[in-house]
Structure 1
Amino acid sequence: MIKWVAAIFGFVFFRFSGAIVGFIIGSFIDNLTFKNTGGFKKIFEQEARVTPGDFELNLLSLSSIVIKADGQVNQTELDYVRQYFVSAYGKERANATFRTFNEVIKNREISAQRICMFLAQRTRYAARLQILHFLFGIANADGSVSESEAREIQKIAGFLRLNFSDFESIKAMFFKTAGHAYKILEIEKTATDAELKKAYRTMAKKYHPDKVQHMDEVHIKGAEAKFKEVQKAYEEIQKERGLG
């Protein structure tokens, strides 16, 4: 961009020869700016990664929003969250997270939008899909996901910049309604057998546990659970259509 501006100024004051000199000097400045910007961008991206402590507190905050979504605090859901955190981070670290949450955050107004914007800028898409799966797991801990819980999780999914089709896919893993297998694979019932096979491969790749290998073991297990649901959905449709 700078090279063209410099070329124009060079032409105005020194005609054709000035335009050439201006273009050369501008190109040099453009390259220097690009390299510097790239370096800063790389550093910023590295620094922007969410720290484990921040991730845990924000995940716990989102958990509290889902637990309160239906207007009551269910002990089964609380136990699910505690067990999940202990499995993921160990008892001592989990207790420290709960203690910090109770002391600093619990009595404040928690903004799902602000938390999700923070996480969306600092986590990979696959990790955010795992967060969504975890939140549905909380809601389902008492045996069913209420409509109010589903609506709250849908809002969180939007704030996390997750595609609506991905939200519907994971929701269908917990809502076993008619046609849920198709929703899990993100296709219509009218999809051809070839489209079915392609959708299965796409979803298996999206939910493959390797996508979250950088996360804790419990998150990897969550990815494995989603991966199995995709396989089950595919097998269910195959059986329904008399394939394989």
Structure 2
Amino acid sequence: MLTLANVSKHYDGHAPRQVLRGVNLELRAGECVAIMGESGVGKSTLLNLAAGLDRPDAGQIVFDGHDLATLDDDAATLQRRHKMGFVFQAFHVLPNLSAAQNIALPLLLNGMRAKDAAVRVSFALLSVGLGGRENAMPREMSGGELQRVAIARALVHQPRLVLADEPTGNLDHGTAMRILALLRELAQKNGTAVLLATHSAAVAAAADRVLRLTPEGLEPGAPPPEAAGAA
């Protein structure tokens, strides 16, 4: 489903910095993998590369049989639109659209009729605990509610790959566990691959595998036991 082979990335600037070095990852359909690591080690960069939002300096990234480096901007956009769902750490919920309108965007962009999209959106709202909030505007919603809108938007079109950057960071423990169960259900039912970056041991413990990102690359890891009760 998703393969990263010897991927490296650095950023130029006043203080050039190597963010990723020789990262290797194999993510299978239906699998949920959690990436843990210290702040600033490159977890968000890794997700951006996997989504084709950024390009590596070295190495190869293959998603669903396509080498992302060979796709032009339009082709990469279509790949993301049809086959990927992304939960951004900063939500990126559009401020002038209601909760339902934000969630419907992937469906409408993929050509679904508005009537059919409305049914799918209603189910998505219920799934993340936002039933009855379809007309709420982002300015009227809490951080946790905005996070759930972002999650529903990432899942509503049943993508092949979900990339989630701290998907439960603004949620209470109970809601976080509910969202994780939803991600696992999607993975198992539709063969969706889920790659998530998290600091939470409880979130990582719900994944099939835990990998730890270090300056030397990705290595097998486990969530720290002292945080196992927190999300």
TM-score range, shorter chain: under 0.3
Greater strand proportion? 2
TM-score (norm 1): 0.24
Q: Which has the larger radius of gyration?
A: 1
Greater helix proportion? 1
TM-score (norm 2): 0.25
